Copies of this chain bind each other. A is one copy, B any other.
Amino acid sequence: MVDPRISVISERLSRISRIMAVSSGKGGVGKSMVATTLALTLANNGCKVGLFDLDFTSPSTHIILNAEKVQPKEEKGIIPPTVHGLKYMSIIYFVGDKPAPLRGSDTSNALIELLAITQWGELDFLVLDMPPGIGDAVLDIVRLIHRIEFLIVTTPSLLAFQTVKKQVSLLSELKMPIVGIIENMKMDKANDVKLETEKLGLKYLGVISFDTQVEAAIGNGAKLLNTAIGKKIKQLVDKEIITSKRAG
């Protein structure tokens, strides 16, 4: 039997112009920081933006945005609260901050439920904070939401990039568009990630220097926009993202 919620999902997302997934092969590369900053920056540019935290392995955007006290409202589905000018939704509202892990099928079920019930309304951008890696949840999201553009975050580490390569190869097989790869927490001048990215035929979106202020900005959106991440993402939004929207 086909899950009736699946047909509801396209309807729920129909008034969203662009869906951008911030993704990483490995955890701990700053994916949630980049996703949150991207959403805040787009909103600061006058766009209508939603941020959707689907990283059930370690949901963090509610901590970064200090959104732990807000709650979505129920009204013919779930209406996301507005946090720092963003419509905000997290899997944490659904599964809670409990220690108990979700078994695979429960995770899929929670994702389908969340996608089916959330009322985003009209948005210019919906930014997804994806689960790390290329597991079931990523496949489910790609299958349930078509038209996702991927922005991939890596660090300079060879170990992180090895995993990115696998992810890129999977996304290519699935024919998903990739905006490019951004290198976070850079501490030296090495250009291996740039070269490797170009070898993959992808756009290298540049570096974000390692910045100790990022940790201090957790819970403070305004402060986050003034860190190395904030500055780089502003540049990226101006040069690549809003432009490509107009061009498209």
Residues on A close to B: CB < 8 A? 25-29, 32, 57-58, 60, 63-64, 97-105, 132-136, 138-139, 155-160, 162-163, 165-170, 173, 187-188, 212, 215, 218
Q: Which B residues are CB-close (under 8 A) to A27?
A: 26-28, 132-133
A102 to chain B, nearest CB (A): 8
Q: Is the CB of A58 within 8 A of B26?
A: yes
Q: Which B residues are CB-close (under 8 A) to A102?
A: 135
Q: Is the CB of B100 within 8 A of A170?
A: yes
Query: Known contacts being A99-B166, A162-B58, is A156 close to B215, with CB within 8 Å?
Result: yes
Query: Known contacts being A60-B159, A159-B32, A163-B58, is A136 close to B101, with CB within 8 Å?
Result: yes
Query: Known contacts being A27-B26, A27-B27, is A159 close to B58, with CB within 8 Å?
Result: yes
Q: Is the CB of A101 within 8 A of B28?
A: no
Q: Is the CB of B105 within 8 A of A138?
A: no
Q: Which B residues are CB-close (under 8 A) to A28?
A: 26-29, 155, 160
Q: Is the CB of B63 within 8 A of A138?
A: no
- Across the interface, A159 reaches (CB within 8 A) one of B63, B105, B134, namely B63
Query: Known contacts being A58-B162, A173-B99, is A136 close to B104, with CB within 8 Å?
Result: yes
